[in-house]
């Protein structure tokens, strides 16, 4: 069994002293910063130092192609998953609040109208009992229609009388103001 672990331990010992190991095992931020600094330094290098076998190209190829790419993909997926989870939470909250609001509105109308419904049912029962005692020869619908017409006509007449009285009072007040502005008092106007 020892012969299996000895090569693995030797490889790990070699990797611990490797500069790529230090960068890749300290987080995504360190890899990104190191990659940006290597790119900036490569851009500042002279043309004779910018060769394909330089340590900068080797680092970018070793870290950027594998570890940095996969780390950025995982970070992006983590952000997308987090955003979708928050969106679903907000959507669920809105749905629950909509249901609660509808229940509250329906409850409010039910509680406001409950006494009126009870009164309406009591009146309907009383009217039903009274109408059951009416002889079948009497036309109840025509009688109710006539009563409603009379009540509607009376209400229209009362509205017309009130409107006419208001117009007459306004005209009298305007005439009195005009008459008093001419310099005559109400007593002089009465004697004249």
Residue 99: the pLDDT is 97
Residue 141 maps to a domain: no
Residue 175 pLDDT? 64
Query: Which positions ≥6 away from 57 have C-beta within 8 Å?
Result: 42, 51
pLDDT given at position 52: 74
pLDDT score for 12:
44
CB-based contacts of 41: which residues, under 8 Å, 6+ apart? 56
Question: Using CA atoms, how far apart are residues 10 and 170, in angstroms rounded to an integer?
Answer: 112
pLDDT < 50 regions, the chain: 1-13, 186, 189, 192
Q: What six digits make up the tokens of 28?
A: 């995504």
**What's the pLDDT at 184?**
53
Does residue 145 sit within a domain?
A: no
Is residue 96 assigned to a domain?
yes
Q: Which pLDDT value is given to residue 103?
A: 96
- How many domains does the chain contain in total? 1
Give residue 104's pLDDT.
96
In a domain, 165, yes or no: no
Assigned domain for 98 exists: yes
DSSP annotation of 78: H
**40, part of any domain:** yes
Residue 158 backbone class (left: φ over 0; alpha: ψ -120 to 50; beta: rest) = alpha
Report if residue 53 sits inside a domain: yes
| CA proximity to 140, closest of 127, 153, 131, 129 | 131
Alpha carbon distance 164, 158 (integer Å): 10
pLDDT score at 116: 83
**Dihedral angle over CA of 80, 81, 85, 88, nearest 10:** 60
Residue 31 · residue 68 · CB < 8 Å: yes
d(CA 131, CA 115): 24
Residue at 4 is within a domain: yes
Nearest C-alpha neighbor of 43 from the set 33, 53, 29, 57: 57
Domain span including residue 31? 1-109
């Amino acid at each position: 069994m020892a012969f299996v672990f000895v090569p693995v331990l030797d490889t790990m010992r070699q990797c611990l002293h490797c500069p790529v190991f230090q960068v890749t095992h300290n987080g995504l931020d360190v890899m990104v910063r190191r990659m940006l600094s290597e790119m900036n330094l490569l851009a500042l290098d002279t043309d004779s130092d910018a060769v394909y076998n330089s340590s900068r190209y080797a680092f970018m190829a070793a870290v950027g192609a594998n570890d940095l790419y996969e780390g950025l993909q995982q970070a992006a997926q983590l952000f997308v998953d987090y955003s979708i989870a928050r969106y679903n939470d907000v959507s669920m909250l809105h749905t629950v609040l909509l249901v609660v609001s509808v229940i509250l509105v329906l409850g409010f109308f039910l509680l406001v109208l409950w006494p009126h419904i009870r009164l309406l049912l009591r009146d309907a029962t009383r009217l039903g009992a009274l109408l059951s005692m009416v002889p079948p020869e009497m036309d109840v619908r025509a009688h109710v229609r006539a009563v409603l017409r009379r009540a509607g006509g009376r209400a229209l007449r009362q509205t017309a009388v009130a409107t006419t009285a208001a117009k007459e009072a306004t005209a009298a007040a305007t005439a009195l103001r005009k008459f008093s502005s001419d310099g005559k008092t109400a007593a002089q106007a009465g004697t004249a």
